[in-house]
Structure 1
Amino acid sequence: MSSRNPSYTNPKPCKHLEDYKLRHGLSGYKSIQKHLKATPHGRTSVEMLNTGVPRCNSCNGFQGRLYLCLICNSVSCLDHTLLHIQSEDGHDLAVDIERAELYCCVCCDQVYDPDFDKVVMSKHNMGVPRGDKHGDESIGERLVKRRRLGLGVAEELVDLKKSKQLVSMRDRRDKSCYPLGLRGLNNLGSTCFMNSVLQALLHAPPFRNYFLSEGHNHEACRRRSGDRLCLSCDIDVVFSAMFSGDRAPYSPAHFLYSWWQHSANLASYEQQDAHEFFISVLDGIHEKEDKSRNRNRDSGDCQCIAHRVFSGLLRSDVTCMTCGSTSTTYDPCVDISVDLDTSNFSPTDIVNKRSKPNENSSISTLLGCLDLFTRQEKLGSEQKLFCETCQEMRDSVKQMSIRRLPLVLCLHIKRFEHSPVRKMSRKIDRYLQFPFSLDMTPYLSSSIVRNRFGNRIFSVEGDESDIITDFEIFAVVTHSGTLESGHYVTYLRLRNRWYKCDDAWITEVDEEIVRASQCYMMFYVQKMLYQKADEDLSSLPLSPRRDAYLPIAG
């Protein structure tokens, strides 16, 4: 487990933001506040008065992202923001018109400023207007509009026309009808990796129930320990805010700072890996738990909430190819990382990166990935192991299996390849089919051992008849873009409906869009817990601890 660095301080914000505030203070923020518009959906945008549809001053375009300069109020598209700052010295900061987010035109990235966040949040506190013109639009119409603005909602695999028809057939539903806890998270500057994983954690049924039932009360914890930098406390604050009934997007700034304290090596305003963040957060929650609970930590029996929910046990069998003796080890895990199954690909397909979704030869499946994970693997000559029976180095085969399943199963797809020999990295943009209902029986140690040796040694694994192997998917974290520049989005399955969580934006989508997404992490929960989660969600009271504005520490 990584250790927290108590002397660590908040990373320096964007230099151009600092320069802007030194020159102009908060005057630009205050002048733009009157143009902010809060919708009933909990979103904030910049309303251009008396101008109709906002357009780029350079190309007159209106599609895609448009940015309003904080100095001269000129509007630029993404392509012309650089042209604007080259012609106008010091005009480095702008506001995303559609999302009301601060943007640095020099860094070409969103930036976070607690002062700007206060301005946006104060607009919500003054009351969200009713009867917004979008309130009567169907979900399909809103999706079509976002598509027209260049914010595509599906991958190429989906027949978009068919998907729009499927979505528009649904009843018109206001955001207030969405399940409790479904709330957007503001991007604090390349923090989509954090927002996507937080959405999955916030809606993992046993994890959610623990924090909402005062399993870790942040007020009592801080009174007891005096430690204001507790990751469990800060995620408890996030739970309180998300389940308070407020629909306005929430800024988890204090949680971000607390995570920076725990993972100083990852603290920056740069994009991070969502999977690495997930592991780091569970690590931080585990670290805070009472050490007396961790006596059986090596056997995977840690009783902290992170391990009680996400921890499973992997079995590794290494068999000598000469004498047949087997060495078995067990390792606890909080997720299972699997390689994309390429058995249906020819070498030519892989080299040429041909991955047409309508060709069966170019489709990987999650079940194929799990089969590959539990398949016997012959270790290379450079990986010879010492055999206790033969008393010398021997060739061997290795096979992985799952000894114990967790309550919530996280499956991580290895889409990022790193080659130390070629000194290069790349992302694998290959479509993966995954089921919404998953039976993990074929991948249990008992099944693997029985298939390999027969029933005669099945008793070695003990009685696994009480293990629950049926799982239901409830969250999918996706990644679009390249290895160097990409964006994370989470799809949540609540009450058997799918919702797209794109930072501050929450949109109901059809399941075909989810199936077409480029999944990176998938979260499954035991089927019984998934079915019970709908009942729990319907009976949850509003959190009594309303979230106050928590500025990021400096």
Structure 2
Amino acid sequence: MGANSSKLEKALTELPDGERYFGLENFGNTCYANSVLQTLYFCRPFRDRVLQYATSAAAKSAEDSLLLCLAELFYQIHTHKKKTGIIAPKRFVQRLKRDNELFRSYMHQDAHEFLNYLLNECSELLEKEQVQKHKASSTLQGTNGAPPTTWVHELFQGKLVNETRCLQCETVTNREEAFYDLSLEIEQNSSLTSCLQNFSSTETLDADDKFFCDKCQCLQEAQKRMKVKMLPRILCLHLKRFKYIEQYDRMRKLMYRVVFPFELKLRNTTDDCQQADQEMALFGVVVHVGSGPNHGHYVSFVKSHGNWLYFDDENVELTDEETVQSAFGSTQEYGSCMDHGYILFYERLDAQDGS
């Protein structure tokens, strides 16, 4: 990456001196982790909290963990003397494989599963630390005995309402659920907005899927829908590109074209949602490259100080919005395009802290 590195350094001279753009070494099919880690590093509020943790008293006294390895990796990048280069996330990958057997093989792994595991693991580790720190305090947990809220929750956790209406007595049952990301069904030649509208569309429960109504005390036909009640500061949207196709009796990749906007409002896709009118800005895209779910490659696009960059393991390049749009997908099911947006990262503009 020598020539590319010096070329990149020259191109980035006008960007802040404190920013770093490092490629990550691949340890045998670890592109799924590298692509997500790059996107999270350029998620400024997340990076800032991880760096704070890296120098905190809790980190100095903590046992070795995935969060600690992540903090060390981010700190190594952030404090590097050079602006560009390559870093080997060896300790992080070793810890990941030690903690979760799912990621131990050299088989093609799923970037969405990794993201989900990483966020849950970090929040659980932070919860444990808070509980240990305030064990004697009765004010740590709320009156409902809920676990403490961590900065992972504050950044990524939103709320859904699962609404079910009995068609016999019209009673509406609401169940609130937390989420770190939304998994969206996709269709050919569609848009992210239509995917979000379909996510919140009404579904009829009948025949073998009838709903047990507490008021009627029996199974009844009902209407069900999922509504976004509260948007998180960082909204992660997972496009469900891998699906079991019955006629082929196996998982296949859906190479559909799904157009995603650089600025998103959920006003037209949900009702009764807090922050629905607030604009969200795209800052990261994890892209799956390849024709199937069991093989392929992951890369990422990230936005840093108004510039789009392309990360492909060790390689880092400046790019543009037009190239990011190439990840929308192909208009034909078996088109030549192999690059498909898989996980989209948006940040609420009202929550941005100027970084």
| TM-score bracket, shorter-length normalisation | 0.7 to 0.9
TM alignment of 1:150-161, pairs within 5 A: none
| 1:208 alignment partner in structure 2 | 47
Paired position in structure 2 for 1:168: none
Task: Pick closer, same or farther for the CA change 1:532–1:193 going to 2, 3 Å.
Answer: same
One of 51, 55, 68 as aligned partner of 1:217:
55
Match of 1:513 in 2: 323
Structure 1 pair 296–257 and aligned structure 2 pair: CA distance change class (3 A): farther
**How many Å separate the matches in 1 of 2:74 and 2:277?**
28
Identity %: 27
State the alpha-carbon separation in 2 of the partners of residues 284 and 524 from structure 1.
Answer: 21
Deviation at 1:300, TM superposition (A): 8.3
Report the Cα offset of residue 446 of structure 1.
Answer: 1.0
User: What is the CA distance between 1:372 and its match in structure 2?
Assistant: 0.2
1:321 and 2:131 are equivalent in the alignment: no
- Match in the other structure for 1:450: none
Q: Retained in 1: the 8 A contact 2:15–2:305?
A: no
Residue 238 of structure 1 corresponds to which residue in structure 2? 73
The answer to which of 414-423 and 503-512 deviates more is: 414-423
Assess if the C-alpha contact under 8 Å between 1:325 and 1:389 holds in 2: yes
Contact 1:387 1:393 in 2 (8 A): yes
Q: What does residue 2 of structure 2 align with?
A: 39
**Count of residues paired in the alignment:** 329
Alpha-carbon distance in 2 for matches of 1:207, 1:304: 12
Quote the offset at 1:242 in angstroms: 1.7
Tell me how far 1:264 sits from its aligned partner. Answer: 2.4
SS at match of 1:257: helix
Q: Please state whether the residue corresponding to 2:350 is helix, strand or coil.
A: helix
Structure 1 residue 243, shift from structure 2 partner = 1.4
Q: CA RMSD in A?
A: 2.6
Q: Which amino acid aligns with 1:266?
A: F
Partner SS, residue 488 of structure 1 = strand
What is the deviation of 1:302?
Answer: 4.5
Which amino acid is the alignment partner of residue 114 of structure 2? F
Comparing both structures, which one devotes a greater share of its residues to helix? 1
- Does residue 269 of structure 2 align to residue 423 of structure 1? no
Aligned counterpart, 1:62: none
The 1:525/1:386 distance shift into structure 2, 3 A limit, reads same
Evaluate the alpha carbon distance shift between residue 431 and residue 173 of structure 1 in structure 2; reply closer, same or farther with a 3 A threshold: farther
User: Is 2:181–2:238's contact at 8 Å kept on the other side of the alignment?
Assistant: yes
Q: Indicate conservation of the 8 Å contact 2:42/2:303, yes or no.
A: no
CA contact (8 A) 1:472 1:530 kept: no
Q: Partner of 1:275: helix, strand, or coil?
A: helix
Partner of 1:276: 113
2:223 alignment partner, one of 394, 397, 400: 397
CA–CA distance in structure 1, aligned partners of residues 176 and 297 of structure 2:
35
- Give 1:296 deviation, angstroms: 5.7
For residues 372 and 403 of structure 1, the distance between their equivalents in structure 2, rounded to whole angstroms, comes to 16
Give the aligned residue type for 2:230. Answer: R
Partner in structure 1 of residue 344 of structure 2? 522
Whether contact under 8 Å (1:377, 1:399) holds in the other structure is: yes
Give the equivalent residue in structure 2 for 1:260. Answer: 97
Is contact 2:279–2:348 with CA below 8 Å preserved after alignment?
yes
Q: What does residue range 74-85 of structure 1 map to in structure 2 within 5 Å?
A: none
Secondary structure of the structure 2 residue equivalent to 1:242: helix
Deviations 1:97-122 (A, max 9, x none): xxxxxxxxxxxxxxxxxxxxxxxxxx
Aligned to 1:454: none
SS at match of 1:426: strand
Q: Distance in 2 between matches of 1:470 and 1:299?
A: 34
Question: Does 2:176 align with 1:330?
Answer: yes
Contact 2:205 2:211 in 1 (8 A): no
Q: Which amino acid aligns with 1:438?
A: L
* Paired residue secondary structure (2:22): coil
RCO higher in 1 or 2 (8 Å CA, sep ≥ 6)?
2
Taking the aligned partners of 2:145 and 2:226, their CA distance within structure 1 comes to 17
Distance in 1 separating the partners of 2:272 and 2:147: 20
Please tell me whether Structure 1 or Structure 2 has the larger radius of gyration of its CA atoms: 1
Distance 1:297 1:386, change over 3 A: same
Which runs of no fewer than 5 residues in structure 2 stay unpaired? 132-139, 328-339
Displacement of 1:421 in angstroms is: 8.5
Q: Which has the higher strand share?
A: 2
Equivalent residue number for residue 478 of structure 1: 287
In structure 1, C-alpha distance between the alignment counterparts of 2:150 and 2:197, rounded to whole Å: 31
Q: In 2, distance between residues paired with 1:401 and 1:522?
A: 19
